[in-house]
Structure 1
């Protein structure tokens, strides 16, 4: 399902991650952020903007190249993947699709070059899944806008150079029309961020709060059109869930690799763990989850490239792949036994990181609601 060029890209990314990222995962987890030098090097190596237009520093490749990077990054460190996920899969793609030429030059170019990070400011303290009912508002004031509100659980907030802030500017609560996306620079008067959260999962990716107190912005800091921001957000959610499938596949693959390696060497009661049928059952189920997740996310990336509607299928992928990753992480801890509980082994980190994906980008419960609703809508009448 990959072209020869995409397979070459996959090999390149795998080698880079194993050589440059794997040795510093523990350091990133302790620091709570990826090193700026790493992001810059990834930008210089062309890893970040593989699918972006060449005129902005991208590689002009397929969207699949971005999905491959997500899987291979998550295979080594899901925290780093989360930071890149926001910078590239979300913010950069929004800029490519809806940004002005000036916005692309100011914000997109440094993102692809690895010299800037960004945040998507959507979730609020009163609830994350009710995205169309923000309390953050933007009001017209003279020749500009004033934004007031707060956001929480914002990936990259402690290190972001700019923020895409979704605010209600008109319209009714729980309606897509009337939301606007503002691009706000970190040094804007009235914008502040809280201290980084101490998280269970994705510890090498910083997360925090964003506060907006009478933040003034001009018209040229609006992404796309006024009152159309929530449509951009909803459009981005489908792709976000497809890339979640790539990330989950990477985590599950890492679990499988570790489980196979350990069980092939560990001896218990005179036999290698790999010779016990209960171990083989676990390995088979893990391998099944990896393969099914990968096949589906490959399929959906191609569908997105072709402009197809993938809302229901993306929810299915997100739900299935996150559950598969969580199962794989649970089983690798079980196979390693006491060693699986030790932080010096990657199993404990994989166990923590996998759980995030049943919550972030829409909980499993939300995915089930989407799947059921769309299934009913598409059902044929009984005869």
Structure 2
């Protein structure tokens, strides 16, 4: 079942139709096998770039699609419905483009954005560290001033596409060790820069096709023009990017939940017990009704937040709400889908056990759901 679309232009409709075709023909059929074997589908991202789907929310003058975020997120949902590693990978890549697209100079944009949004390059977002996950302002990776630019030393952790990316949107401390959020700057760092390396990928319970690894910086020399935005203003860039990134995670969560519901519905119609399809029993029918309702509510919440963003209005609180509700919904729906399948749902013969394992990470990435509640409560306090 394709996503329920909320579109306003023929071009947007064509984008969703194209995405659905790619998902059904090239993405969904290989998801289970590649996840089982931890295969990173780099070729899929090249295909999406060629189709114009990797730069949808960015300016056309640099090769982007100039689409509203409302449209872009529905494309992400459709991709995640077919394979979460791809949907989340597109969300992370879009996140990695944001600092340069929003805060870079005209020269930086002209030099880097066309290859980034066109799919020639795949990006990663380097913010988290082993000791600064939820407390992102406590990061310790340092970028010291040199005569020609900056020298970076430190290590990042839990980086999606770590070791596979062609460039990194890096956040490092340029101020004093105790400067907190005020002493952080943003940099654009090509992956082939000398001194930059990666740790072995993490062994995860799900999302095995999406590499997550530490990224290491050992006397990495950067030119001055690697700085994105003003020195010391990087934490504001990071938070601004994460507001948009949380909407990407919400869209991924809805896509995964939709896939779980589709599988549960199909099984409930073919599986028979006591002479009837199990979907005809009220207890299971009510469970499916709740799953569908939660998905629809989550979808409308992320679309509502996207419309605020597209209108240039504040949307940070709504982005946190959307990420919170959608990822909790994905976990609940995937768990209920396993229940619908009964014992078969606990086996790898059906996809719902994979959906359940994958859903969990969505409650953690780009700010845990506990952090989302903190963000929301702080907004409520200010409004009060």
TM superposition score normalised by structure 1: 0.94
Q: Distance in 2 between matches of 1:249 and 1:130?
A: 27
Which residue is 2:26 aligned to? Answer: 20
Q: Which runs of 5+ in 1 are unaligned?
A: none
Of the three residues 252, 268, 281, the one matched with 1:276 is 281
What's the offset of the Cα at 1:174? Answer: 6.9
Q: Distance in 2 between matches of 1:129 and 1:51?
A: 27
What's the offset of the Cα at 1:108? Answer: 2.2
Of the three residues 211, 214, 217, the one matched with 2:216 is 211
DSSP 3-state at the match of 2:136? coil
Of the three residues 148, 164, 172, the one matched with 1:167 is 172
DSSP 3-state at the match of 2:137? coil
Per-residue CA distance 1:13-42 (angstroms, 9 max, x = gap): 112211111111134314534433322221
> Pairwise mapping of residues 300-315 of structure 1 onto structure 2 (< 5 A)?
300-315=305-320
Of the three residues 55, 62, 66, the one matched with 1:56 is 62
DSSP 3-state at the match of 1:114? coil
CA contact (8 A) 1:117 1:160 kept: yes
Q: Distance in 1 between matches of 2:142 and 2:361?
A: 29
Q: Distance in 2 between matches of 1:197 and 1:377?
A: 39
Which is further off, 291-300 or 307-316? 307-316
RMSD: 1.6
Which is further off, 322-331 or 168-177? 168-177
Which residue is 2:49 aligned to? Answer: 43
CA contact (8 A) 1:82 1:202 kept: no
DSSP 3-state at the match of 1:214? strand
What's the offset of the Cα at 1:51? Answer: 2.5
Which residue is 1:128 aligned to? Answer: 133
Distance of aligned partners of 1:173 and 1:283 in 2 relative to their CA distance in 1, 3 Å threshold:
farther
What's the offset of the Cα at 1:182? Answer: 1.5
1:72 lines up with 2:82 in the alignment: no
What's the offset of the Cα at 1:356? Answer: 0.7
Which is further off, 53-62 or 225-234? 53-62
Of the three residues 265, 269, 273, the one matched with 1:264 is 269
Q: Distance in 2 between matches of 1:238 and 1:298?
A: 14
Q: Distance in 1 between matches of 2:350 and 2:162?
A: 29
Of the three residues 148, 153, 168, the one matched with 1:148 is 153
CA contact (8 A) 1:132 1:174 kept: no
1:183 lines up with 2:188 in the alignment: yes
1:82 lines up with 2:88 in the alignment: yes
What's the offset of the Cα at 1:64? Answer: 2.1
Distance of aligned partners of 1:33 and 1:57 in 2 relative to their CA distance in 1, 3 Å threshold:
farther
CA contact (8 A) 2:46 2:119 kept: yes
What's the offset of the Cα at 1:50? Answer: 2.3
DSSP 3-state at the match of 2:263? helix
Which residue is 1:352 aligned to? Answer: 357
TM superposition score normalised by structure 2: 0.94
What's the offset of the Cα at 1:279? Answer: 0.6
CA contact (8 A) 2:197 2:217 kept: yes
What's the offset of the Cα at 1:172? Answer: 6.8
Distance of aligned partners of 1:181 and 1:291 in 2 relative to their CA distance in 1, 3 Å threshold:
same
Of the three residues 96, 102, 105, the one matched with 2:101 is 96
DSSP 3-state at the match of 2:372? helix
DSSP 3-state at the match of 2:193? coil
DSSP 3-state at the match of 2:182? coil
Q: Distance in 2 between matches of 1:77 and 1:335?
A: 21
